[in-house]
Amino acid sequence: MRAVIQRVGRASVVADGRQAGSIGHGLMVLFGVETADGPGVDAAEVEWLARKIAQMRIFADEAGLTNLSVGDVGGDILVVSQFTLFAKTKKGNRPSFIDAARPVLAIPYYEAFVKKLSEETGREIPTGIFGADMKIDMEADGPFTIIIDTRNKE
């Protein structure tokens, strides 16, 4: 699994022409599943990723230091599925998405991740609509962007 976390002043997603989810101050999370994540949701990996994001200290405290989590600042999280996070660009100019998990594998991971993130934060997690054509509007804060990959825990 891979997540791109963007600190935002606000974010919203429109899917198939209708508002699917929106937040104010918080985190925009693009979430992708790789074929190598395998069948059957790896609950330990989902939990690790959700906890990491919920507890990540990337918001400023009163001294201006990044010491606060999204929960500490009362922020929200918007999650959008993003198979293109596993694009391969080595050959030619057209990306290959061969490593991105197909919906039958990815949807259970996506749903488990959103559920676990909600449990970790104690808040409802607005989302896009899996597989839909989506338009995202966001106000980057910082900008502050972090990429986390469960296969390369750096």
Residues carrying an active site annotation:
82-84
Label residue 17 exposed, middle or buried (CB < 10 Å: 0-12, 13-18, 19+).
exposed
Alpha helices in 18-131 (DSSP H): 43-55, 103-121
Q: How far is CA 115 from the centre of its chain?
A: 13
Q: Give the whole-angstrom CA distance, residue 141 versus residue 66.
A: 13
Peptide bond into 95 cis (omega under 30): no
Q: Give the whole-angstrom CA distance, residue 103 versus residue 105.
A: 5
Label residue 77 exposed, middle or buried (CB < 10 Å: 0-12, 13-18, 19+).
buried
